[in-house]
């Protein structure tokens, strides 16, 4: 793509806004080794990376060897002995270390140089055994380099020039740790609306278009692009006319945003007087300023696992307590709902916690399942939350509850954590409300039983939809099947809301559905008491709530329950939304 014609690519707009700038392309081509200089003070770190890379490679070879031995036989598995010899070859390792110190270059480069020279020398010798050894070295070299690159600090996270970041994929930890001031916009091959990278981009207010399939293969660093995160366009070499049109769109959006700002101090009451609690979701403690600034009534979901990403050690009880306390103080007397640790799925901790590779991470060792097996980590967090309850209106919420047994097990750990504090005479609030996230279909179907044992429900529609419809929430290839208005979802939401009210507890929605103004009428009609969305979306949701009446929303639900397709239901929702606040939809 070298000429200057304008080209448009359509993806999934996941974080609204417009950004224009030069591309920085992150290539996934991890076998391409680049050389960079290191300072003498970095040599120890590079040696550490080298050692870790060799250990990791050794473990991988041993694992492969065992798998082959079990499935084919020990004789075939013996070929890996030669591979093991390479990672244990002292002469080779010492030479890499020497090169690292004398050339002051990164370890991937040093290793590749030395290993390639070894392999070349062996391959030239006229001896079949030694030629085989050369192949072994090449094979193992690739593996070591891949492991080293997996551990290398990602250079794009600290770029100092403003840029539009284009990458194959961004993990939630990449998004949380990049230099936000310089990232004007984001575009990626993979991902969708409810992937955690998208959720974070929204919270950080960075326009983003994901799910562009193979955009990284088509782009080059330095190109001019426009990211339209509202409508999902990546426009390469935008013409002056396109830029002008976007300027006008921006100014219209700015006008709507200014009107929405006026709503900050108003309450979210429907036209017929029903108060719907409007809260914000946060991932990072520094987002707390945006909560009140956008007129939210507290925090409906604090995704605490982001405390654990990007670090090598777990935060101590004290550190967590300090963080939760500060957030609670900032939002009091409004509630702060702290969700316990939801690692797993697309949120993998860097070094602090090892979930391991799983074939189906979203169905795997995630959230409460992980915590119940790691009670030290769980109790440390629960004690920190309980201690923070003395300074604010703190509630605790368990993620990924699949049924009553699991909920009860979590309650037992909570009770034990309280006991530990009591016996150490450490203060906590008299009563700390406990909620369950309803985000697994089994929990929705058995909601009545759960409702009798908690103080509130918060429906995690991001996961509820992915599990009910069997649609991986981060897979852009099947994003078209991810339909919040699917008749099955409507029924599940109704079951949960009805079960909550029959048992006199409140129910909210904290998935991305709560921030979609087209769907707010449906959620109000279903009886939701609270909606919690990214802080920047709260003013829009408030306008929607203030424009609607509960009877018209109930009527909408009655009608849509008779419809059998997601598109028909969506169309009916859009009709009502368009009648009441059409300017927010465009």
Complex with ligand PEP: residue 119 or 190, whichever CB lies closer: 190
Do 339 and 367 form a contact (C-beta atoms < 8 A)? no
Closest listed residue to residue 450, CA positions, set 409, 396, 403, 412: 403
Q: Which does 461 bind (CB under 5 to 8 A by kind): ligand PEP, Mg ion, none?
A: ligand PEP
Enumerate residues 455-514 that contact Mg ion by CB under 5 A: 460, 463
Complex with Mg ion: residue 406 or 439, whichever CB lies closer: 439
CB of 529 to Mg ion, least distance (A): 19
Enumerate residues 533-552 that contact Mg ion by CB under 5 A: none
Closest listed residue to residue 110, CA positions, set 119, 121, 122, 101: 101
Q: Which does 433 bind (CB under 5 to 8 A by kind): ligand PEP, Mg ion, none?
A: none
DSSP 227: E
One of 108, 342, 433, 476 touching ligand PEP (CB under 6 A): 342
DSSP 58: H
476 binds ligand PEP (CB under 6 A): no
C-alpha 549, offset from chain centre? 34
DSSP 27: P
One of 46, 189, 406, 439 touching ligand PEP (CB under 6 A): 439
CB of 227 to ligand PEP, least distance (A): 23
* 142: helix, strand or coil: helix
Do 111 and 96 form a contact (C-beta atoms < 8 A)? yes
CB of 460 to ligand PEP, least distance (A): 3
Kind of pairing between the strands at 506-509 and 208-210: unpaired
CB of 513 to ligand PEP, least distance (A): 8
From the list 371, 446, 510, 573, the catalytic residue is 510
511 binds ligand PEP (CB under 6 A): yes
Kind of pairing between the strands at 335-339 and 12-15: unpaired
533 binds ligand PEP (CB under 6 A): no
Q: Who contacts 461 (Cβ-Cβ below 8 Å, separation ≥6)? A: 439, 484, 489, 493, 509, 511, 512, 513, 514
105 labelled catalytic: no
Among the residues of 391-537, which ranges form H helices? 404-423, 441-445, 447-451, 461-469, 487-502, 520-526
From the list 163, 196, 446, 573, the catalytic residue is 196
Kindly indicate which of the ranges 158-166, 170-178, 230-238, 457-465 contains the residues binding ligand PEP, using the contact rule CB under 6 A: 457-465
DSSP sequence for 160-182: -S-EEEEES---HHHHHHS-GGG
Kindly indicate which of the ranges 122-130, 454-462, 498-506, 518-526 contains the residues binding ligand PEP, using the contact rule CB under 6 A: 454-462
303 binds ligand PEP (CB under 6 A): yes
CB of 512 to ligand PEP, least distance (A): 7
305 binds Mg ion (CB under 5 A): no
CB of 515 to ligand PEP, least distance (A): 11
What span, in angstroms and rounded, lies between the C-alpha atoms of 385 and 327? 11
Size of the site for Mg ion (CB under 5 A): 3
Do 237 and 4 form a contact (C-beta atoms < 8 A)? yes
Complex with Mg ion: residue 463 or 512, whichever CB lies closer: 463
Residue 115 buriedness (CB in 10 A; 0-12 / 13-18 / 19+) = buried
CB of 497 to Mg ion, least distance (A): 18
Complex with ligand PEP: residue 49 or 193, whichever CB lies closer: 193
Residue 535 buriedness (CB in 10 A; 0-12 / 13-18 / 19+) = buried
Going from the C-alpha of 310 to that of each of 53, 256, 302, 306, 313, the distances in angstroms are: 19, 37, 17, 8, 9
CB of 498 to Mg ion, least distance (A): 22
Going from the C-alpha of 77 to that of each of 60, 128, 142, 539, the distances in angstroms are: 13, 20, 20, 62
CB of 191 to ligand PEP, least distance (A): 13
433 binds ligand PEP (CB under 6 A): no
Complex with ligand PEP: residue 328 or 474, whichever CB lies closer: 474
Closest listed residue to residue 14, CA positions, set 539, 479, 484: 479
Q: Which does 511 bind (CB under 5 to 8 A by kind): Mg ion, ligand PEP, none?
A: ligand PEP
Among the residues of 287-440, which ranges form H helices? 288-293, 317-331, 367-373, 375-388, 404-423
304 binds ligand PEP (CB under 6 A): no
Size of the site for ligand PEP (CB under 6 A): 10
Complex with Mg ion: residue 295 or 300, whichever CB lies closer: 300
Kind of pairing between the strands at 456-459 and 434-438: parallel
439 binds Mg ion (CB under 5 A): yes
Q: Which does 387 bind (CB under 5 to 8 A by kind): ligand PEP, Mg ion, none?
A: none
CB of 416 to ligand PEP, least distance (A): 25
Kindly indicate which of the ranges 139-147, 160-168, 455-463, 521-529 contains the residues binding ligand PEP, using the contact rule CB under 6 A: 455-463
Complex with ligand PEP: residue 462 or 485, whichever CB lies closer: 462
462 binds ligand PEP (CB under 6 A): yes
Closest listed residue to residue 325, CA positions, set 377, 378, 391: 391
What span, in angstroms and rounded, lies between the C-alpha atoms of 571 and 169? 32
Complex with ligand PEP: residue 53 or 211, whichever CB lies closer: 211
| Interacting residues toward Mg ion by CB under 5 A | 439, 460, 463
| Interacting residues toward ligand PEP by CB under 6 A | 301, 303, 342, 439, 460-463, 510-511
What residues are labeled active site?
196, 510
């Amino acid at each position: 793509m070298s000429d200057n014609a304008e080209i448009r690519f359509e993806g999934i707009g996941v974080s609204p806004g417009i950004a224009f700038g030069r591309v920085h392309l992150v290539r996934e081509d991890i076998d391409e080794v680049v050389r960079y200089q290191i300072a003498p003070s970095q040599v120890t770190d590079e040696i550490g990376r080298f050692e870790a890379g060799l250990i990791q490679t050794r473990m991988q070879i041993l694992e492969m060897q065992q798998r082959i031995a079990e499935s084919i036989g020990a004789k075939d598995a013996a070929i890996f002995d030669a591979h093991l010899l390479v990672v244990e070859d002292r002469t080779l390792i010492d030479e890499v270390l020497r090169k690292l110190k004398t050339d002051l270059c990164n370890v991937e480069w040093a290793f590749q140089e030395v290993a390639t020279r070894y392999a070349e020398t062996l391959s030239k010798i006229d001896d079949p055994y030694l030629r085989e050894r050369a192949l072994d070295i090449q094979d193992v070299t690739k593996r070591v380099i891949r492991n080293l690159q997996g551990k290398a600090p990602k250079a794009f996270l600290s770029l100092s020039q403003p840029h539009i970041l284009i990458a194959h994929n961004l993990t939630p930890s990449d998004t949380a740790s990049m230099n936000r001031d310089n990232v004007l916009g984001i575009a990626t091959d993979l991902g969708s609306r409810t992937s955690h990278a998208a959720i974070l981009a929204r919270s950080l207010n960075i326009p983003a278009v994901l799910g562009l399939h193979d955009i990284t293969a088509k782009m080059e660093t330095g190109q001019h692009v426009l990211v339209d995160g509202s409508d999902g366009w990546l426009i390469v070499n935008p013409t002056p006319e396109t830029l002008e049109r976007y300027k006008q769109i921006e100014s219209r959006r700015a006008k709507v945003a200014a009107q929405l700002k006026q709503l900050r101090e108003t309450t979210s009451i429907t036209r017929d007087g029903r108060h719907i609690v409007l809260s914000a979701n946060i991932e990072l403690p520094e987002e707390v300023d945006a909560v009140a600034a956008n007129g939210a009534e507290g925090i409906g979901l604090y995704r605490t696992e982001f405390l654990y990403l990007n670090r090598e050690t777990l935060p101590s009880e004290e550190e967590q307590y300090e963080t939760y306390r500060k957030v609670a103080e900032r939002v009091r007397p409004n509630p702060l709902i702290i969700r316990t640790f939801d690692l797993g799925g697309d949120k993998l901790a860097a070094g602090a916690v090892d979930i391991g590779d799983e074939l189906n991470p979203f169905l795997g060792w995630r959230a409460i399942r992980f915590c119940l097996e790691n009670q030290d980590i769980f109790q440390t967090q629960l004690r920190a939350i309980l201690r923070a309850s003395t300074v604010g209106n703190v509630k605790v919420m368990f993620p990924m509850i699949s049924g009553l047994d699991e909920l009860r097990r979590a309650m037992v750990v909570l009770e034990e954590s309280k006991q530990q504090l009591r016996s150490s005479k450490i203060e906590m609030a008299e009563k700390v409300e406990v909620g369950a996230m309803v985000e697994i279909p089994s929990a929705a179907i058995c909601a009545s039983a759960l409702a009798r044992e908690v103080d509130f429900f918060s429906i995690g529609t991001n996961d509820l939809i992915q599990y009910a419809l069997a649609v991986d929430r981060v897979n852009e290839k099947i994003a078209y099947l991810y339909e919040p208005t699917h008749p099955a979802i409507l029924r599940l939401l109704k079951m949960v809301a009805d079960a909550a009210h029959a048992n006199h507890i409140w129910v909210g929605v904290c998935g991305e559905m709560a921030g979609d103004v087209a769907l707010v009428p449906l959620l109000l009609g279903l009886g939701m008491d609270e909606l919690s969305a990214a802080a920047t979306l709260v003013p829009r949701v408030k306008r929607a709530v203030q424009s609607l009446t509960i009877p018209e929303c109930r009527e909408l639900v009655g009608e849509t329950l008779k419809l059998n397709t997601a598109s028909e239901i969506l169309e009916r929702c859009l009709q009502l939304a368009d009648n009441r606040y059409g300017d927010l939809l465009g």
